[in-house]
Structure 1
Amino acid sequence: MAALSIQERKRLRQIGHALNPVVMTGGQGLTENVIEEIRRALNDHELIKVKIAGEDREARAAAITEIAEATESQIVQTIGKIVLLYKKAQQQNPKLSNLVRYAHSAR
């Protein structure tokens, strides 16, 4: 997986600004069901926000890294408890993809 260029990362952050978290980890932490839901959301939307529960920064950072590795996605940005993840879809769906839906806002 190639690293994102500075321009790509900036464009994805601009698009991500308009998004709300689609997956939130709960009190049980990072379960296989949560990982599977993140995979599904990334496949549909390509660019998503995930809210990580917990007050411990190191635990949140570890969970974010684990999510990125498990879903083979790239971390675009992390602000507090919110992480912006990107993974190019194999078959892009223009009706669901946030990259297509919000492309006009990234100019």
Structure 2
Amino acid sequence: MALRGKQKSFLRSEAHHLNPVVQIGKNGLSETLLDQVDELLERRELIKVTLLQNTDEEASDVKDVFEATLHCDVVQTIGRILVVYRPSSKEKYQKISQQVRSI
């Protein structure tokens, strides 16, 4: 899914007030972590992921893995914080994606 510039800008503004809900630490990227992120994206559509100081992962590597395995968009990367978006497949959780489509 290719997002346009205005859509990315809207998502960045929506994510500004969010706190990171996923932290990647010394265990790095695992199947459990990817499953957790997948569930969170299904329910929230827009989340922040932070890389802790004790991780060996790089933000660009995490971005590539997320986009390849979870089929989501990393809207913004600032330092060690990623803003991740994916429209929910369940209609009752589609709040942000409806606004994104209207832009």
TM range (shorter): 0.7 to 0.9
The equivalent of 2:67 in structure 1 is 68
Note if 1:99 corresponds to 2:96.
yes
Residue of structure 1 equivalent to 2:89:
90
Other-structure match for 1:11: 10
Task: Quote the Cα distance in structure 1 between the aligned partners of 2:83 and 2:31.
Answer: 19
Whether the 8 Å CA contact 2:28–2:56 is kept in 1: the answer is no
Pair 1:20-2:19 in alignment: yes
Task: Give, in whole Å, the separation in 2 of the partners of 1:29 and 1:57.
Answer: 7
* TM-aligned CA deviation for residue 70 of structure 1: 1.2
1:34-56 Cα distance to aligned partner (Å, 9 max, x none): 00000000000001101123478
Change (3 A) 1:40 1:58: closer
Q: Matched residue of 2:40: which SS?
A: helix
User: Percent identical across equivalent pairs?
Assistant: 30
Q: CA deviation at 1:73?
A: 0.3
Give the root-mean-square deviation of aligned CA atoms. 2.3
Q: How many residue pairs get matched?
A: 98
| Matching residue's letter, 1:73 | C
What is the CA–CA distance in structure 1 between the aligned matches of 2:78 and 2:95, rounded to whole Å?
Answer: 19
Corresponding position of 1:33: 32
> 3-state SS of the aligned residue for 1:88?
coil
Kindly report which structure 2 residues correspond to 1:49-68, keeping only aligned pairs within 5 A, or say none. Answer: 49-54=48-53, 59-68=58-67
Q: Per-residue deviation at 1:58?
A: 7.5
Deviation at 1:88, TM superposition (A): 0.5
